[in-house]
Each structure stands twice: as C-alpha cells, then as structure tokens.
Amino acid sequence: MQRLDTNPAFGQSEGMKHLARVGALMALLAIPLAGHAQPGNVEYAEQLVRARYYEGLPYEKARELKLAGVERLSEMLRDSDEAQHHENIVMALGISGFPQAYAALVDFHGQEPEGELNAAEYRARRAIPLAMGHLARSDPRAFRFVLEAAREEDPESAPHWTYRHLRDERLAGVLRRAAITGVAMSGRPEAVAALRETEESARGDPRATAELRTHIGEAHRLHQRVSSEGPDQVFGGELPR
C-alpha cells in the first residue's frame, strides 16, 4: 500500500480520504470473481484462471467449476495465447474433479516443449503432477499418472527442456518431488503403500538426496491430513507449490 505523505500540510481529513480510496481500490482487486460471472459458467472459468493470486489458485473457487467451464479451460490449455494462464488452468482442471479434465492434462503433458522455458511455462509444467494429485481423488487414471512419475528413477527420463539452472537430473528431481506430492494429495488409501515404497527405494539409492528423503516424509504427513481431515479442509487455504 502506498505510504501516506508525512508532510504536516497533509491534513487528517485528506489522509482519511486517501486511505478510503486506496482501501476501495484494494477491495476491488481482491475480488476478481465477484463480478457478473456466475459460478459454473464459461465466463466464471475464464475469470478464475486469468486472475492473479499470491497464494495459489483458490481451491474452493475451482471446485465450483461445471462441465461447460472445464471444456472451456481445456480449449484454453491448447491455446498458446493463454500461456501465461496455463498454470492456473492446469490446477483448475485438476481440482474440478471432472473426468474430462484428465484427457486435457495428458494432452498438455504430452506436448513437451524443448529448449529454455520462461517462468510461466515452467510453472505450468510443474503444476501437472499437482493437478493430477487433486484429480486422482476421483479418477484412478490420474493416480496412476502421479504414481508412475513418483517412481521414475531412470536418468534418461529427464525432460528435453530446461528452466534457468534446472536441467537433466536436477530438473527430473524437481518434477519427481512434485509427483510425490501429487500422490500424497490424492488422499487415496493405496497412496500409503506407494509412499512407503518410494521411501524404501530412496533409502537404498545412493543417488537419493537428503532433500528427497525429507520431501517423502512431508508427503506422508500431507497424505495423513488429506485422508483424515478431508481435501476441502486441507486445501481451502494455500495450495502446495
């Protein structure tokens, strides 16, 4: 927020008016979805993913998506002109829980880029396993997706793209940890055995980093919360990133 002028000539009444104007502006910026768009329609979906958030896409807003909105987001995910919003689109599709979201996410995942990615492109790619983790609560195909990615240990599996200092095995490690989080986010009973298997594999792998082992422990705790408290309670605030 802009600081008030400390000059004595800036009187108290003017200061209060300034605060009121700034407050009103901030209130308008804070409710990008409170316009005329009704939950579930196409306009709502577009506004949802094009807004800017500082703590991740609002889980409870994405849960209000309906099939028409999911179909529109699937179109937007194929549109390169919407690339800056692809991270939000990916997460919204996963959170929506609609089976149609799976095909859209798989298609996007399969269109793997090459070369150096910008920040928006990287965030969208890293969001895929997290979105699949949400979708896995209702779609077994999404659970198999994150499960396979979490178990991936082949050095040759590193993506053909890079992002800043992330490349080769280091980049593969980032995406694998995101997939492990996706397994935990699913809250599915079979995720417990999968996380234990991953933990045991890391324990016996000299290439496994302390960061990976710590991450698996955090994934265990996240899964326990999701399975005991429910996803609405756990993800109603900030989403995993």
Q: What is the CATH number of the domain that holds 209?
A: 1.25.10
* 14 domain-assigned: no
pTM for this prediction = 0.81
Least confidently predicted of 85-89, 131-135, 209-213: 209-213
Pairwise CA distance, residues 191 & 202, whole Å: 16
* 86 domain-assigned: yes
* 92 domain-assigned: yes
Query: Do 45 and 70 touch, CB atoms closer than 8 A?
Result: yes
* 126 domain-assigned: yes
Mean pLDDT of the chain: 84
Give me the phi and psi of 90, to 5 degrees please.
-60, -50
Range of the domain at 180: 35-235
* 181 domain-assigned: yes
Pairwise CA distance, residues 227 & 2, whole Å: 43
* 17 domain-assigned: no
Write out the DSSP string of 113-131: --EE--HHHHHHHHHHHHH
For residue 188, pLDDT beyond 70: yes
pLDDT band at 156 (very low <50, low <70, confident <90, very high): low
For residue 88, pLDDT beyond 70: yes
Count up the domains in the chain and report the number.
Answer: 1
Q: What is the percent of the chain where pLDDT is above 90?
A: 67
pLDDT band at 155 (very low <50, low <70, confident <90, very high): low
Least confidently predicted of 153-157, 178-182, 232-236: 153-157
pLDDT of residue 11: 39
